Chains A and B, each alone.
Chain A
């Protein structure tokens, strides 16, 4: 067949049309699902996604949050069944590891360059320990310390305490003035781990104890661990009446309604309090040591990361989104929208409270003990600490028994304790 000019033109047009169709087919809207446990952040995520769509209009993302306490189960069973979302809001440390281990996640460290600039203790939250690879883009870090009501402190005529005795004196003064000194209860065990995270690090000695215990050089029968819990128990007279029956929402209400002067809690509460009571003036401080010149510490942990389902049909689009979440633009947007500490390096935080925490991070932060190091097996250090502390605070068991139970429970699976 001789190729005439006419047939050539026609065939070229056909080719051009085909290419056009194919390329427009590629740019066709791709719909991704994004599962999370952050039911309270739906509006914020809609905002993030619409910002993302300014750059990538063809990637549609549906944000689907599940109840916090049910999320892990729902996610794990879906992934086991070969389904699940395209983008996964991942827990961290031991909460993430089994998913990576089972091959449900895609390693990201070779795909997202920006991850190299993240702090190494931050990346640890999304790392599979056995292969050292990063399976999520870390999103947010949380801190646990003392939140206080500035107005109540003014009313009492007190300043942020510099020593442990000053702290106890403030609590006593608050109680005498009719306030609840600390809005902490023990009905829900996990709030006792928060209590521990705020008070204990100063007394067990922060990072050096952390390194010794995670490597198995010492165990939980160490006197530093014991004296840290004894300090927690010294605050018992300053907890609400019937604190054994006081649950988390009660605690939040007591602090938000300005009935309580202080709250041993996480930086993740700020957003909630801003909504519950916009007039509440919150300050933060680290639990001081016996003397003002002694070291003091508070707990830090990475709270979440974003990962990619290995089974996704749209890996490229998911990667586009994940890359975007590692940018300063996203970090700044995230931190200022939700009033939390984004882990993206070099972002600008406008909130003065968070600014203060950022300034304390370098010298005083230490990894949140049970959450970051002892949640790789069952019963986890958190489960044990929470329940044993509940036993001690409810006068069901002695501190000695509690410590023994924590140690025995962890020995059942934590390798370095069995060397």
Chain B
């Protein structure tokens, strides 16, 4: 009897290594961050348990609350514009690339290429391109007679965040194109033939046939984009430093967390606030889990079958 039980449940034993890695690298850091956020900290020394005090500080006490909500807003702007770009431009190019014309494969590879570059490289490259004094971007604008639009893109509070979003989209767009194209190719020609018989024009076919069937792909990419953008840190750190220069205009939850946890890197060092930083990390986790959960749920509902 015992032997049979062992035989039947031997698979549990094989799960152990994976479970161990999962616990060590996922469950433990996550729970310890939650734990940290409930204590007061003196530099790196753990103090007393103080409940939700750190959360209260982040959400209500000046200057933390101002920085938190401004970073939160920037994350939504970042996500919103990226979402718009990928679901319009991305879908447009994906649709285009499903038509097998000469040169489209090459184009598709070209659109995907930036995605393979490291974020550090992309950030550095665009820092050079957008340099107001000797960068080619402004020089190009002057060359084509748009010199009055040449400006310090990364140095002005009004344009810096949008420039960063643009640079990110430049790198990212290849990925949604790839996923959308795969989705589009999975749609059987029969549906289009049926639509044609019913007298639908190209636009109607796109709205009634293509869009509903590719919606799961769009939804999936949107959720991934959301998770990724609400965790993002590197591009802003590389291009605008850990306090989201200029004047916090590119500050994201990621950079706010980093700065609070480890001190502002450009000041050459100051003590971080482990408790408050952990509270920010937990809030980030909650925001991402909440939105992703409802995103995935509504995604399931929106799936259609013909």
B263 surroundings in chain A (CB, below 8 A): 72, 95, 378, 380
A396 surroundings in chain B (CB, below 8 A): 157, 246-247, 249
A379 surroundings in chain B (CB, below 8 A): 63, 67, 259, 264
- Compute how far the CA of A247 lies from the CA of B239 in the bound complex, rounded to whole angstroms: 10
B99 to chain A, nearest CB (A): 42
- A188→B241 contact, CB < 8 A: yes
B16 to chain A, nearest CB (A): 25
Is A131 close to B, CB under 8 A?
Answer: no
Q: Which of A54-62, A167-175, A216-224, A405-413 contacts B (4 or more CB under 8 A)?
A: A405-413
- A187→B63 contact, CB < 8 A: no
Instruction: State which residues 224-260 of A face B: CB under 8 Å.
Output: 240-247, 250
A-contact bits for B49-86, CB 8 A (1 contact / 0 none): 00000000000011110010000000000000000000
B96 to chain A, nearest CB (A): 36
Is A186 close to B, CB under 8 A?
Answer: yes
B193 surroundings in chain A (CB, below 8 A): none
- B241→A380 contact, CB < 8 A: no
A299 surroundings in chain B (CB, below 8 A): none
Is B270 close to A, CB under 8 A?
Answer: yes
- Compute how far the CA of A307 lies from the CA of B157 in the bound complex, rounded to whole angstroms: 41
Q: A242-B152, A244-B156, A245-B153 are in contact. Are A386 and B243 (CB under 8 A)?
A: yes
Is B248 close to A, CB under 8 A?
Answer: yes
A376 surroundings in chain B (CB, below 8 A): 270-271
B120 to chain A, nearest CB (A): 11
- B133→A242 contact, CB < 8 A: yes
B-contact bits for A360-395, CB 8 A (1 contact / 0 none): 000000000001000111111011101110110010
B29 surroundings in chain A (CB, below 8 A): none
- Compute how far the CA of A345 lies from the CA of B156 in the bound complex, rounded to whole angstroms: 46
Q: Which of A69, A97, A193, A394 contacts B246 (CB 8 A)?
A: A394
Interface residue range, chain A: 35 or more
- B264→A391 contact, CB < 8 A: no
Interface residue range, chain B: 35 or more
Is B268 close to A, CB under 8 A?
Answer: yes
Is A353 close to B, CB under 8 A?
Answer: no
- Compute how far the CA of A396 lies from the CA of B250 in the bound complex, rounded to whole angstroms: 14
A107 surroundings in chain B (CB, below 8 A): none
- Compute how far the CA of A97 lies from the CA of B246 in the bound complex, rounded to whole angstroms: 29
A412 surroundings in chain B (CB, below 8 A): 61-64
Q: Which of B18-26, B39-47, B179-187, B217-225 contacts A (4 or more CB under 8 A)?
A: B39-47
- A391→B133 contact, CB < 8 A: no
B270 to chain A, nearest CB (A): 4
A187 surroundings in chain B (CB, below 8 A): 152, 154-155, 245-246
- Compute how far the CA of A243 lies from the CA of B154 in the bound complex, rounded to whole angstroms: 11
- A69→B266 contact, CB < 8 A: yes
Q: A245-B154, A246-B132, A250-B131 are in contact. Are A386 and B246 (CB under 8 A)?
A: no
A181 to chain B, nearest CB (A): 15
- A394→B269 contact, CB < 8 A: no
- A242→B132 contact, CB < 8 A: yes
A218 to chain B, nearest CB (A): 21
